[in-house]
């Protein structure tokens, strides 16, 4: 086991935790509840990684893995909003959600590097998959927020 890679992974999970804390502090209502759920799940992932225990899939934002995938791949069908790249005009909530989404994606990519054997085969696909779902769920929250704002 490459401990430097494991420490890098832990660092990425802590950065994700920090990004979720910041965005949760800036939001209210249902979105805050879903961010607190994501924060709790991130802490769970961190604990399971440190203890080298398997990850149990949990719903995020009230959605299972299949629902997250469908909604993040076809937001127009579910939220009436197409895929988009955030702009400054979208405001601080979407910018903060995007920062958290990027932190989740960076943690996912670090997981691919950290949890691959010498042949490149994944040794902890559960963590990588959980972080992929987290990133997609945060993207869905961005789309929902954009729809709530009534912006194109």
Q: Tell me, what CATH number does 53's domain have? A: 1.20.1200
In the chain, alpha helices (H) = 3-25, 29-51, 65-73, 75-79, 92-114, 125-149
CA–CA gap between residue 22 and residue 9 (Å, rounded): 20
CA–CA gap between residue 45 and residue 148 (Å, rounded): 30
Which pLDDT belongs to residue 151? 64
pLDDT in tens, 87-98: 999 999 999 999
Number of structural domains in the chain: 1
pLDDT tens over the chain, length 152 residues: 678 888 999 999 999 999 999 999 988 899 999 999 999 999 999 999 989 999 998 899 999 999 999 999 999 999 999 999 999 999 999 999 999 999 999 999 999 999 999 998 999 999 999 999 999 999 999 999 999 888 66
Which pLDDT belongs to residue 37? 95
Which pLDDT belongs to residue 46? 93
What is the Cβ-side half-sphere exposure of residue 133, based on CA atoms within 13 angstroms? 24
CA–CA gap between residue 45 and residue 138 (Å, rounded): 16
Range(s) of the domain holding residue 139: 3-149
CA–CA gap between residue 2 and residue 115 (Å, rounded): 10
């Amino acid at each position: 086991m490459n401990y430097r890679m494991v420490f890098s992974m832990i660092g990425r999970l802590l950065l994700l935790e920090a990004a979720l804390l910041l965005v949760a502090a800036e939001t209210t209502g249902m979105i805050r509840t879903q961010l607190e759920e994501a924060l709790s799940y991130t802490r769970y992932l961190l604990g399971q990684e440190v203890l080298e225990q398997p990850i149990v899939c949990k719903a995020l934002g009230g959605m299972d893995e299949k629902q997250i995938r469908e909604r993040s791949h076809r937001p127009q069908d579910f939220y009436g909003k197409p895929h988009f790249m955030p702009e400054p005009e979208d405001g601080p909530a979407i910018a903060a959600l995007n920062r958290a989404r990027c932190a989740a994606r960076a943690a996912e990519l670090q997981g691919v590097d950290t949890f691959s054997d010498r042949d490149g085969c994944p040794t902890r696909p559960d963590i990588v998959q959980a972080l992929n779902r987290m990133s997609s769920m945060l993207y869905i929250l961005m789309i929902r927020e954009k729809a709530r704002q009534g912006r194109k």
